[in-house]
Amino acid sequence: MKPKITFFTLLLLGQAALAQQKDLVSYVNTLQGTNSKHELTRGNTYPTTALPFGMHTWTPQTGKNGDGWKYQYFLDKIRGFQQAHQCSSWTRDYAVFSLMPMSELVVDENKREAKFSHSNEVAKPNYYKVEFDNKIVTEISPSERGAHLRFSYPAGGKSYLVLDGYNRMSGVTIHPKENKITGYVSNGQGFKRGWKSYFVLQFDQPIVAYGTWENKQNTIKTDSTTAEGLGKGAYLEFKAGSKVQVKTASSYISPEQAELNLKRELGADKNLEVTKAKAAAVWNKALGKIVVEGGSEADKATFYSCFFRASLFSRKFYEIGADGKPYYFSPYDGKVHPGHMFTDTGFWDTFRAQFPLNSLVQTEMHGQYMQALIDAYKQCGWLPSWSFPSEGGSMIGNHAISLLADAWAKGIRTFDPKEALDAYYHEAMNKGPWGPANGRDGVKEYNELGYVPYPKYRESTAKTLEYAYDDFCGYQLAKMTGNQHYIDVFQKPMYNYRNVYDASTRFMRGKGIDGQWTANFDPIEWGGPFTEGNAWHYQWSVFQDTKGLIKLMGGDQNFTAKLDSVFSVPNKVKVGTYGGMIHEMTEMVMANMGQYAHGNQPIQHMVYLYNYAGQPWKSQFHARNVMSKLYDATENGYPGDEDQGQTSSWYVLSAMGIYSVTPGTGEYVLGSPMFKKVTINLENGKKFIIEAPDNSKENVYISKATFNGKPYGKNFITHADINKGGVLKLEMSNKPNMQRGLAEDDKPFSLSK
């Protein structure tokens, strides 16, 4: 008999499918890491209300206009709700304006603040809500280039809304009959003079009264509809006790494009609930790319809060034109181009884990990103290293090549590798006009001596180590694409790490032009030849050749003993050339894990290096220990700066049981997963599953592994294997298996064999 499929059966099936689709967004706490200040950071994040990789994000503002600490958890007053793009408190922000509801018109940002408490706050990616002590309620739900906000004023009270034009040039025009404000802001260091972020605000309630103001003297002009200049803003009055919804969107291209972004993203949304539900669906799909099961609710909250933050950077900087195709205002040449562009990241942080994670779960976007890097080079004259949104050249290294080589190694073919190598060669052979990481600082000496000398160049040993890794990435890309010319160029300098290793102290050290080691060496001294770290942290920055490093250090025993020492030596600090405690030092001391400084990037891959030296179980132990000890989903949830998704991506990869020690090889080194089951839903439709049914807080060691049913002894897995889909099954135990993963073939990639 043929079963009859009725509409009712279909309805039931549909509901069952919906029930299976977990509400992952509910696990995310966007307040994670917000309890931060200048001297001590627990993340330096803000409660970002946004869609994945969204162009504009929204947040409540507790800090003054222009302050990098835009939202600090320990404060109890909010002065506005702003459009934001910040990477980290240290970068401040750009293209900001804010809105603030009130019952009495007070424009001064210091006087209009309203008290609130966290118990009256909801902080989710798709929805932020706060009720002030004065009973005014603000709600925000995001779109990619805008937001839907609602301000609910108490019955009987007056209903004002102030638009603050932030700390530089701005312009506003009020359209009272259309219940609309249009305008622009032009603020932020990397947002060059004359560039504009055009906004449009469409209200659903009639404007009763209005005026403009400026935020330097806080003077008000009633009934004025337009203003342009430093910090110019607007205010509106609505009927008493109103509930006002406003849809807003912004564009870097034109006011017309801002209208188009609004119409396309929010036009059909009758109310905020629609935008909120749409945003929840987008996030559940994005977070559903990795489904974790069989861990505590707290661990899931940490995982999805980290995965959320890993899914914010880099930001889409392109917009969809009237013809449905992507266009962008280039932050490099200030012109509008067809195609995709991304910005807001510092590769020094993010080449390590954030981009390797994106390559795995955002493959299509990652391909667009690689072409955007080459386009950025053509428009800027230099490959990006720290974009915010234009090129800042901050930090050290030329790590764009790490992204490009890694993408190619993972089968992403969206760019011309010859163009990428030409761009990198230009980067590696020249010093750019601004910033230490714009081109190569100390390039002449690096090429002549094989290292960057100290003290002629600051942070020189860190630079030598990272240049050598970057040169390896150039070599890799050349090798994978059969480019003999560039193989010849980069095959020698990729070993330059050897030139800054001092066998007598068994540390990487500063070295002078005369070949002499920098005197009075102390491995706990920060700065000098190192970047935001000391010799304990930089010892391991030989991503491309851990085996070669092991040889330099006298073999496996010496190497693993030194890894052990990182955790067992005292957590003491010598401030060195910094002249005082910087927050990274304070965070290392607080973590109380010896010289292990997970709050900053240089050492973040270190726990995985035992895999290269015959003690993989120690990688498993330490990876789990760092995850459990240094992360949670609360306002104190990070061990230091989060840094554009990097510190979150470390957690996301580690919690799956893998980590990207050497981007450019397509390998992920094994650690120990946090969950009994992890399913990666790949964009190619396949699933890769990591099963560890006996996993628990105690059972952190891998005693046995099978891959697609066959015994698996390797301490790594390749991107290609993951991409095919399959099951990596791990038997977990509370005792290490000291026989697994010891063979040479089991060890992850190293240049030296």
Can you tell me whether residue 182 is helix, strand or coil? Answer: strand
How far apart are CB 349 and Ca ion at their closest, in Å? 6
Contact present, 232 and 213 (Cβ < 8 Å):
yes
How far apart are CB 600 and Ca ion at their closest, in Å? 4
Q: Segment contacting Ca ion (CB under 5 A): 122-130, 169-177, 386-394, 595-603?
A: 595-603
Structure tokens at 643: 């840094």
How far apart are CB 395 and Ca ion at their closest, in Å? 9
The Cα 186–Cα 166 span in angstroms is 9
Nearer to Ca ion, 36 or 248 (CB): 36
How far apart are CB 204 and Ca ion at their closest, in Å? 43
The answer to whether residue 600 forms part of the interface with Ca ion (CB under 5 A) is: yes
User: Positive or negative CA dihedral for 226, 227, 228, 233?
Assistant: negative
The answer to whether residue 531 forms part of the interface with Ca ion (CB under 5 A) is: no
Whether residue 154 has a cis bond before it, omega within 30° of 0: no
How far apart are CB 310 and Ca ion at their closest, in Å? 15
How far apart are CB 386 and Ca ion at their closest, in Å? 12
List residues bridging with 292 in a β-sheet: 678
Can you tell me whether residue 475 is helix, strand or coil? Answer: helix
Q: Segment contacting Ca ion (CB under 5 A): 39-47, 115-123, 135-143, 592-600?
A: 592-600
Q: Segment contacting Ca ion (CB under 5 A): 33-41, 91-99, 152-160, 594-602?
A: 594-602
Nearer to Ca ion, 550 or 630 (CB): 630
Crossing angle of helices 363-380/354-361, nearest 10°?
Answer: 130
How far apart are CB 75 and Ca ion at their closest, in Å? 23
What backbone phi and psi angles, to 5 degrees, belong to 188? Answer: 110, 140
The Cα 264–Cα 143 span in angstroms is 10
Instruction: List % helix, strand, coil for the chain (3-state, nearest 5).
Output: 35, 25, 45
Can you tell me whether residue 305 is helix, strand or coil? Answer: helix
The answer to whether residue 394 forms part of the interface with Ca ion (CB under 5 A) is: no
Count of residues that bind Ca ion according to CB under 5 A: 3
Nearer to Ca ion, 395 or 751 (CB): 395
Q: Segment contacting Ca ion (CB under 5 A): 49-57, 210-218, 562-570, 600-608?
A: 600-608
The answer to whether residue 643 forms part of the interface with Ca ion (CB under 5 A) is: yes
The Cα 348–Cα 601 span in angstroms is 8
The answer to whether residue 466 forms part of the interface with Ca ion (CB under 5 A) is: no
Nearer to Ca ion, 361 or 597 (CB): 597
Q: Segment contacting Ca ion (CB under 5 A): 129-137, 173-181, 465-473, 635-643?
A: 635-643
The Cα 215–Cα 273 span in angstroms is 33
The answer to whether residue 88 forms part of the interface with Ca ion (CB under 5 A) is: no
Nearer to Ca ion, 466 or 643 (CB): 643
How far apart are CB 423 and Ca ion at their closest, in Å? 26
Contact present, 313 and 55 (Cβ < 8 Å):
no
Q: Which residue matches tokens 């929805």?
A: 127
Count of beta carbons in the 10 Å neighbourhood of residue 310: 28
Structure tokens at 662: 């050497």
| Chosen residue from 470, 641, 642, 746 binding Ca ion by CB under 5 A | 641
Please count the CA atoms within 13 angstroms of the CA of 408 that sit on its side-chain side. 24
Nearer to Ca ion, 398 or 600 (CB): 600
Q: Segment contacting Ca ion (CB under 5 A): 31-39, 148-156, 551-559, 639-647?
A: 639-647
CA-based max dimension of the chain: 91
Nearer to Ca ion, 473 or 597 (CB): 597
Q: Which residue matches tokens 């549909």?
A: 14
Nearer to Ca ion, 487 or 589 (CB): 589
Binding site for Ca ion (CB under 5 A): 600, 641, 643
